[in-house]
Structure 1
Amino acid sequence: MLKNVFILMMVMVVSRSASAQETTGDLYSSHNKGKFFISWGGNRESYSRSDVRFWGRGYDFTVHDMEAHDKPKGYHLDYLNPGRMTIPQTNFRMGYFIDDHYSISIGWDHMKYVMTQDQIANVSGFISLPDTEEGAVFNGIYNNTDTKMTEDFLQYEHTDGLNYVNTEFSRTDDVSSVLKISNTDKVQFNVTEGIGAGFLFPKTNTKLLGRERHDDFHISGFGISAKAGLNITFFKHFYVQGEIKGGYIDMHDIRTTTSNTDHASQHFFFLQRIIAVGGIFRV
């Protein structure tokens, strides 16, 4: 009985809302102020070459113009599995419209950065390890020396991941009228652009000079970014959004081994291609 009454009340509320909307012509999608939004998606990324400095007890050298790539998983159920959805390259964002056009949000860009193994790179600096260490075979003075990044010399990646935790300030504009769409409560097209900044919290997976592999989370630096995208909203509350997002990352304190004396630093530019699904609603 209560279930039937509840359904009847919901039908009456929806019918009255629709009737009022038709009378006033005030569509839900006409105004964004006060709305919250949340999204989840996946990404691919590209990186500029980077000079990476490694230093610690017995060594201080720089790998010049290191080449790196992302680690895509393709179409996979992990994107939807609550227990594994943070494993692929993903993007999470939630925010609030402070007026009809401008919003502020917080997000987590889970990217992956993998040094291209076995590349030939110029190395400058020195390695002077005790003869008892496995990495002593690489001892010497390096002066822009061509060096192959073998697994014994260096394995280096941020694969769980290159986590960019950031705040964004964005603008959204409805362009449905350009496409001659009148009822934007059914489908609405928006363009969006914004700027952001935040910190890097990577889990860096490194094996350096034959030492024990290290893989741990550590706040390593900061990033800034800018984006532009297209948003398609369906039935007022559900949307698909595609974005191009680029930025600059400076990580000056990267952990590379279990020893607190071993560090690395690098800075580079990145470009993300993002597809996300989400919801927008007013509380």
Structure 2
Amino acid sequence: MQYIKTILVLGFAFFSSISYSQVQETLKYTSSNKGKFFVSWGGNRDSYSKSDIRFKGDGYDFTIKDATAKDKPKGWHVDYINPTRMTIPQTNFKLGYFISDHYTVALGVDHMKYVMHRNRNRTIDGYIDLPTDESGSVYNGVYNNESVFISSDMLKFEHTNGLNYVYGEFARFDDISSIFGIQNTDVFQINITEGLGAGVLYPKTNTTLLEKERYDEFHVSGYGLSANIGLNLLVLKHFFIQLDAKGGYINMNDIRTTSNTSEHAEQSFYFFQRVISFGGIFKL
């Protein structure tokens, strides 16, 4: 009887080990995301809509209508990974967590750059009435939707260090590998992501206005809203490349332009980003 019991126990242990091995083979690391963290770092190119920019201060209140702007790309460069020069290129950072297999929450910083086009004619509405002993008084006048040449001496206006969008994001994450016939997602996996974000703008605005002293300091200037869709390519369970198309709305009603706290600018516009980033996904 003891002999039979021993055989039964050994048999049960043998078949249990086989079943456990099969389960381990079935449950790949990529089969579940809940509880994982991810982090990414990358770069962007940006496009901006036209914007009415209002400048208000002691002795002036005028609006430049339909101002246009460009980004300031660095291109592929070692500065993206040089800790002492990371703010020179246009960059994207994100740290997130999977609250379920398909949904994530994240915090991110989009370091964009915004350079207003100058040395061209623009429509101006408002007035400039500076004391005659100030150099900027050469621009004095009442402007009633007039075409004026915006020279570099009259205005330099750039969010170049930068147009910093600090945001929180809620996103969905779906594995679409099976569409492409990929079986072992622990080797290679294709995912699609869609997200919504909101946050604040913390630009360092480089401004020289009406020949006043240049000003260039960080300041919380407004808020932003965004939406994005991305393609995530996961390699060997932990490493990914992600391509994102991201658009949104920025409203800044308190942009510092001079050292005088009573002087500021206001603008709102839409933006569109093309982002490539590299990152990792892991469990603690």
Q: Distance in 2 between matches of 1:39 and 1:70?
A: 22
Structure 1 residues 142 and 234, CA, compared in 2 at 3 Å: closer, same or farther? Answer: same
- The alpha-carbon deviation at position 119 of structure 1 amounts to 2.2
TM-score normalised by the chain length of structure 2: 0.92
- The alpha-carbon deviation at position 21 of structure 1 amounts to 7.0
1:189-223 Cα shifts (integer Å, max 9, x gaps): 00000100000000000000000000000000000
Contact 1:21 1:27 in 2 (8 A): no
Provide the secondary structure at the position in 2 that maps to 1:83.
Answer: coil
The number of residue pairs the alignment matches comes to 266
Letter paired with 2:91:
T
Letter paired with 1:203:
K
Letter paired with 1:205:
N
The residue correspondences of 1:1-283 to structure 2 (distance < 5 A) are: 20=21, 23-283=24-284
TM-score normalised by the chain length of structure 1: 0.92
- The alpha-carbon deviation at position 80 of structure 1 amounts to 1.1
1:108-151 Cα shifts (integer Å, max 9, x gaps): 00000000121211000000001110110000000111111101
Contact 1:199 1:219 in 2 (8 A): yes
- The alpha-carbon deviation at position 57 of structure 1 amounts to 0.4
Q: Distance in 1 between matches of 2:203 and 2:24?
A: 53
Q: Distance in 1 between matches of 2:83 and 2:214?
A: 28
Structure 1 residues 24 and 140, CA, compared in 2 at 3 Å: closer, same or farther? Answer: same
Q: Distance in 2 between matches of 1:120 and 1:88?
A: 29
Structure 1 residues 25 and 153, CA, compared in 2 at 3 Å: closer, same or farther? Answer: same
Structure 1 segments unaligned to the other structure (5+ residues) = 1-18
- The alpha-carbon deviation at position 24 of structure 1 amounts to 3.7
Provide the secondary structure at the position in 1 that maps to 2:253.
Answer: strand
Letter paired with 1:253:
D
Q: Rg: which structure is higher?
A: 2
Question: Which 4+ residue blocks in structure 1 deviate beyond 2 angstroms?
Answer: 19-24
Q: Distance in 2 between matches of 1:74 and 1:39?
A: 18
Q: Distance in 1 between matches of 2:104 and 2:194?
A: 10
